[in-house]
Amino acid sequence: MHRNLIATVELFVRLEASLYSSEIWRNVYLTAIPMFHVYGLSLFSMGLLSLGSTIVVMRKFDVEEAVRAIDAFKVTHFPTVPPILTTLIRAKGATGCRLQSLVQVSCRAAPIAPKTIHDFLKAFPHVDFIQGYGLTESAAVGTCGFNTTNCKRHISVGLLAPNMQAKIIDLETGSCLPPGTSGELLLHGSAIMKAETCIVVVTIARISPLYFLCHQDIAYFDGDGYLYILDRLKETIKYKGFQIAPADLEALLIAHPDIVDVAVTAKALQNEEAGEIPVAFVVTRSGSKRSSTDVIEFVAKQVTPYKKVREVVFVSSIPRSPAGKTLRRKLRDTLAASRM
């Protein structure tokens, strides 16, 4: 474990030094992320301290307090998770806050809808928005977003961190896939755990085997080396032999003007031929009169027939972890309880 944490600190220093020419110790960071989560642990408790950056710590996230802290301490960088990003967008609409000192906002720990990114950039056009990707098993190290004047990849989780290697492999054959082709993501690097679980051996050019971490994420690289995470393999819905990514449907649903939050999960059927169907858990705006049929038809107009949402459940909130991950297990438990 100590090896992982030392590698994390080293990678943070190298990454920041390679991406930015400014005096990084002058940056002021606001933290509202739990430090018991690997994201907060690696970023605030180790990485940023090793750079000498100032860290403003919140006991818990409150959007009004966050806005006051950003203005009072001239915060330049704000690492977030998707629910915090959504709350900032709403705060701009409600209060008109400008957050002028912010230079960069990053988002990790859970998938984020392209519409949310678009709305954030529209609300705060002066802020550089990036995403990143990491795992508990990699001590949160994986990729980091990087934008330039001529190259902005807001949807991507960024470029590989220094000393990290990655492969995209075919789900069935295990063969390596070229840029632009999606498959299972494998990671190799000094920050990755040594445990035997979730490890696969890949031989490169018949020279020597390397141990890659397999975390069942579906992804692809573009031609410039930017990584795009599509979904989790174990969360993929299998309907009549087709595979449906919940994130694809969630991205469509969140674009609906009456939907403020959404999560899609699988519902197992007794009909073995169909297998599973996509069920959408939807939070609507106050006063919305939208019906299940309206939501189903909204999606059906934009996808091939097998990808259609088959059921809709209206809820007051989507269960999420402190890091912002959707707790799909709780959603599946809700479906199971409704059948009893």
Could you say which of 160, 184, 201 is where a domain stops? 160
Q: What is the pLDDT of residue 20?
A: 65
Are 289 and 228 within one domain? Answer: no
Are 13 and 74 within one domain? Answer: yes
pLDDT tens across 128-140, in order? 999 999 887 777 7
Res. 202 pLDDT band, cuts 50 70 90:
very low
Res. 340 pLDDT band, cuts 50 70 90:
low
Three-state DSSP at 130 gives strand
Three-state DSSP at 177 gives coil
Are 89 and 172 within one domain? Answer: no
**Cα–Cα distance for residue pair 299/208, rounded to 1 Å:** 48
State the average pLDDT for the chain: 85
Whether pLDDT at 329 is above 60: yes
Average pLDDT (285-290) is: 89
Whether pLDDT at 324 is above 80: no
Are 134 and 211 within one domain? Answer: no
Are 291 and 323 within one domain? Answer: yes
Whether pLDDT at 56 is above 60: yes
Are 19 and 100 within one domain? Answer: yes
Q: Which of 20-34, 115-129, 221-235 has the lowest mean pLDDT?
A: 20-34
Average pLDDT (208-229) is: 84
What six digits make up the tokens of 52?
Answer: 């000498």
The CATH number for 281's domain is: 3.30.300.30
Are 104 and 154 within one domain? Answer: yes
Amino acid letter, residue 324 = G
Average pLDDT (244-264) is: 91
From the number of C-beta atoms within 10 Å of its C-beta (0-12, 13-18, 19+), residue 52 rates as exposed
Are 265 and 327 within one domain? Answer: yes
How many other C-beta atoms lie within 10 A of the C-beta of residue 335?
Answer: 16
The CATH number for 179's domain is: 2.30.38.10
What six digits make up the tokens of 123?
Answer: 């609300």
Res. 328 pLDDT band, cuts 50 70 90:
confident
Whether pLDDT at 104 is above 90: yes
CA torsion angle for 111, 254, 88, 44 (degrees, to 10)? -10
pTM of the model: 0.78
Residue 192: domain span: 165-232
